[in-house]
Structures are given as C-alpha cells and as structure tokens.
Amino acid sequence: MITEKILKKHDIHPLLQERWSPRMFSDQTVMESEIQLLLEAGRWAPSSNNLQPWRIIWGAKGSKTYDRIFECLDSFNQKWAGNAPVLMLGAFKKTNAKDKENFHALHDLGAFSAHLTFQAQSMGLAVHQMAGVKHEKAHAEFKFTEDYHVATALAIGYYGGDRSDLPEDLEKIETPTSERTPRKDFAFNGDFKETKNTSEENK
C-alpha cells in the first residue's frame, strides 16, 4: 500500500512542484502573444456541460484597462499587484442555457485559472490568484450584465524582481509556502471523516 509517508511533493510533476504565488515579479514584458496563449490554455479547461462560463477581462501594464482592473482590487492586493505586468479579472455566468442557476460555474472558472496557471508555469510565468476584489465595483466598471459575477483576479508576470521592493510585511512572507494539509485529512477511501485542517505534514 502506498502510504501517506511515501509519496511527497517531489513525486509530482515539476511544473506543480515549482509553482508558487509571488507578489513580486520581474519587470520583463509579457507579450500579447503570450497572454493570448495563456487564455488559449484556459479555453481548453473542462467545464460542466461544456458551458465554459468563464469571462475574463485582461490588461497589460501601461494600459487604461490595467489601471481599471487595479482599481477593482482590494486595498491589501493593491499593495503588491501593481508589480505584475498583466492583470486579469475572472468572472462567471451564473445561469445555464435554461436560465437555471449553474452551480458549477465558480468551479469551472477555477478550472480555467488552473489551466492558465500551469501553461504559465511552463513558460516561466508566475500567476498569483486573488479573491480580494471589489466585486460590485468590477461588475459595474466593466459593464457586466446582471447574469455575471466577478469572482477573482490574477496577477501574472515572469518570476523575479527584487523582493526588498515589497512593503516590509509582504517581503517577510515572499517565499514559496511549504504548508499543505496531509492527504489523509482530505482524501478518504471510504466514509468522510471530520478532520482538522492541519498542514504540518506532507511538505
């Protein structure tokens, strides 16, 4: 039996091992062709009934759209996200073709973001996902209609840059986290068990 102890982070794919969410980025430009490739990767994410409920607003640094996205981030994320050469907002369509609630739309936006993130990682690009978005402001700012919810934002750029340019509190935590909940506490080969959300193992 393969136990909790044997399989560790170093056994998973290097793209997954090496990914983390920085708050400082290299100032290397991300070309529009690279941005389009990230969006193409997201496009091929699986979704419930292939509804593809994700909608993305993107902007490159120096553009009006970038500044408008930045203004929709919460104050914590505004402390660092301006370091990223590209910002995106992630929204989803709340209903399906029958005008019924699509309960899986947020899940599918997450799948889109995961696809985009691993394509990015393969290109040396880091993605930092954010929930800290002024959702209603973003909805109005980008003229979304009633049936959409702006859920997340993404900061994207090449890994690098000088972490000492971050505010002191963020500089201290600018490192890949090694904390994860052990598999035995979230994956059950049988009945669900209530567990504590611990992360001291499985580094």
Ligand X SMILES: Cc1cc2nc3c(=O)[nH]c(=O)nc-3n(C[C@H](O)[C@H](O)[C@H](O)COP(=O)(O)O)c2cc1C
Binding residues among 111-130 for ligand X as defined by CB under 6 A: 129-130
Is there binding between residue 91 and ligand X (CB under 6 A)? Answer: no
Longest dimension (CA), the chain: 56
Q: Closest CB to ligand X among 32 and 183?
A: 183
Rank residues 7 and 131 by Cβ distance to ligand X and give the closer one.
Answer: 131
Residue 161: both structure tokens together: 């840059």
Integer Cα distance of 186 and 193 in angstroms: 8
Residue 145 or 197: the one with the smaller Cβ distance to ligand X is 197
Binding mask 4-43 for ligand X (x = CB under 6 A): ----------------xx----------------------
Q: Which listed residue (26, 47, 52, 77) binds ligand X by CB under 6 A?
A: 77
Counting contacts by CB under 6 A, is residue 152 touching ligand X?
yes
In terms of CB distance, is 31 or 124 closer to ligand X?
Answer: 124
Q: Give the span between the Cα atoms of 187 and 172, in whole angstroms.
A: 32
DSSP letter string, 93-140:
E-B-TTSSB-TTHHHHHHHHHHHHHHHHHHTTEEEEEE--B-HHHHHH
Q: Which residue is nearest to ligand X (CB)?
A: 132
Residue 176 binds ligand X, judged by CB under 6 A: yes
Q: Which token pair is 151?
A: 């859920």
Task: With CA atoms as reference, report the closest residue to 41 among 154, 148, 177, 143.
Answer: 154
109 binding ligand X? (CB under 6 A)? no
Tokens linked to 102: 């699509």
Rounded Cα distance, 158 and 22, in Å: 10
CB of 178 to ligand X, least distance (A): 9
Total of chain residues touching ligand X, rule CB under 6 A:
10
Structure tokens at 149: 């919810």
Per CB under 6 A, the list member of 15, 16, 131, 173 interacting with ligand X is: 131
Report the interface residues with ligand X, using CB under 6 A.
20-21, 77, 129-132, 152, 176-177
